[in-house]
Amino acid sequence: MTKKPIAWITDSTAYIPDELKKHPDFFSIPLNIHFGEKQFIDGVDLTPTQLYENIKNATEFPKTSQPSAGEFAEQFKKIAENYEQAIAIHISGELSGTLASSMAGADIAGFPITFIDSRSLSYGITGLIEKGMELQKESATVPEIKEQLEKMTGTLKNFIFIGQLEQLYKGGRMSGVQFFLGSLLKVKPIIQISTSGKLEAIDKVRSEKKALQYLVDKVAGGHPTGKGKVYLMQGNVPEQAEDLKKLILTQVPGLTVEIGDISSTLAVHAGEGTIAVLWYD
């Protein structure tokens, strides 16, 4: 049997629109979510909606974990049966051990995989995969695709309004001092994934209304031509996301704005009420 040339691999922290889900060469390997002794597979037996409900009723805070190298290896062996090689684009190596575990799994499986650190998450990963698939259609080689996508990682613009400070703190993504000051002053941070792939607090707001206007201003300022595509990721607040979309299109009517859900794994840390805008320059 003739093998197909390239499989595209990512993890469940990526935003995966329906079109990508249906792509025959696309594979997403899920992370794990733990509520005490119970383990759930992200997107398989735990949806974001179910996660939010579980958090409300949980006696202890959930945790996340990446698949082991052995679990990655098992998945890669199956993919290798039908593909010559793969390109894997994962959540930032600064935010998770997923990339390292995946690379170790490839060594165990003996399957040639070209790895790209997205230095981001959610749509930041999706945009790279979509661009990579376009380059493949244009007959670019794997080294050429890798070079182009690694350049692209430095052009991601993103602004994230955190819904739940407590979850960000308990998940180890915020210091105790930041959490104390934020709670005391009743402010919430605007977070950004830096070009190095780390989370950084870049600003703060005191109300949801001001947060939405902040995001609108950033989108408008980032699109001087009035054209482009923006992804709006939301954590169980679809009505607020629709309101934000309307505000953006009122100010920049030439934009395309797509709304998507943040994954369960990301929702563990960011919490309900989180809204983010992301785009590539």
Of 83, 92, 87, whose CA–CA distance to 131 is shortest?
87
8, 27 in Cβ contact below 8 A?
A: yes
pLDDT tens-digit series, residues 190-246:
889 999 998 888 888 888 889 899 999 999 999 999 999 999 999 999 999 999 999
Residue 39 three-state SS: strand
pLDDT computed for residue 164 by the predictor: 65
pLDDT computed for residue 45 by the predictor: 86
Q: Distance between CA 93 and CA 87 in Å, rounded?
A: 16
What are the tokens at 234? 């939301």
CA atoms 142, 6, 258, 215: torsion sign: negative
pLDDT computed for residue 189 by the predictor: 79
pLDDT computed for residue 55 by the predictor: 82
Domains, the chain, in order of start with CATH, read 4-154 (3.40.50.10170), 156-280 (3.30.1180.10)
Residues (pLDDT < 50) of the chain are 173-185
pLDDT computed for residue 199 by the predictor: 84
